[in-house]
A and B are shown apart, each in its own frame.
Chain A
């Protein structure tokens, strides 16, 4: 394994862990599609940040996109609660609107913005090792992306371990959480802010689609394997790391996009769990059903 392959798999794994951790809470709250919506809606935020700062300065882009991500969740909630638009339609209307806005902004400022749609949709993780972070003395600190995503992962780990109880309660039993004085709205928006942050940090390297695949796939697979939230968090992170490594070699073999290959592996993982899971798989369910029928 050469050094480039190492960096690519390492980046993929970091992204996978970030996304899977958050994804567990998203699918428990039945908000998988909100994650999808946010990952598309950050586009205008990135473009606007780009226009204002005039460069691909990482922190402004992160801020701009995180703001748009939260705005997107706010709009979804607003349309749903205040205008009484059906929940799924409100998601669909909001993120397509913001995505269209992003593309229009890109076309208007085509000369000034060095961004394009396919980069947003499926990124290019293979370029990660090319963008190295060199100190002034010329020391090589490794790819820039790794540092950014590593930073985001650190923030997420702190966030989840410090506030595990709040996240857990508001996901499973919002009424009880509210009764003991935990604001469901606050934790909802904090979680959405974290999702936006992760999406943006990851989008350049892996694109919006892989973010969705990693947010939904590994947690869903883990959800079929265990009932314990802590185990779900750990298992889905592991699954994400495995998918990154396997996806990289699949992409190498097919000479295709790494992000696409990782999604394909995630699909395969889910398929295996869906059929063979000892507790919730297709086969064991069928066996239980026949056992019940015989009894």
Chain B
């Protein structure tokens, strides 16, 4: 059923260029889904533009005619942010997939939104550089998508999330204005930081069409420590002591036994029988002093763990790293049937609050009698609770209730309801709860006012971030 008049549709098609539009139902079906369990509506049109001018022209027409717009690139969102909640069109930025400029001495690379993160790092590796944000989906996720969700990843303990790595952007606002924000420089003191507003905006303000990203030289040498524990609080203490000793690891990950089991064959290491949790820490240094630094960390961890493995072989390290990045997907093997889904939670608390938070979350999961496994980025306090549930109305309701309860635990411990996946439609009730609990609902109102400035006709990615009552 067509929602918009043929005249409006024709104007949109003309603005985008006919060759950049998918019209037929069969071509649009895949866009009803992203990587989340939340299905969306079939788009009226799918636009795959070549440049920002086409996007600006399309958004102007959409604004004038009240046509809702959803934005997508790699389609790896886990919270439903890149599928349609309201009838409208979808803009897919994948065709804008060029690396435009690289400047090693000024430490930046300029990219279009459709560049996949692994491809970017493959390119930078040739110059001995890298772009640190490293979400587990980096094979498929893109510059555009990772900026829109402020993606984090394994290396966030050292390098922080995406927001630390964006110097500037070209952006098309919801009403079709092309703006440039930020600079090519590391320092900037010139009015409001509009770039920062765009990061994590999940397509609700407009469409990112270019980004200036900071880059770093690759670490000279890295080594990995794997340690095994019976108790999660010991894991928390071990990583705290390492950090207190002045060592900031490149990555600091933990996983529980069911997660270890899901990737055991890929890890290819001897895991002690008593193991309930594993800690994985990467240390970097110069070639000369790497072992010295590893030994220093090893001595600290030894206070809490009897069994420690040190790996410096690059191939073996890469294999284990890939296994950890694929942990969420590997958990699928533990599904009882194909109808069961695994919903990945994404909370964060200050690292010091982690041991207590994990205990309370574990207790809550037991109370709800739902199967869930835990892994996450222990170095930065980010916990992923992976919840196994039947994909039914009742199943999703049970997950929503559990997610809310464990979100409240995170809020109580000075944390946040979403660390790196964004809000989408999945977590807008949790976001509301966070600000209600902080007695700061006006912050949400401010966000809406900001959206209104960028997108005065409220057409951009409606239903995402903020709960919106459907007509």
B partners with A? no
Mark B residues whose CB is within 8 Å of A. Answer: none
Residues of chain A touching chain B, judged by Cβ–Cβ distance below 8 Å, are none
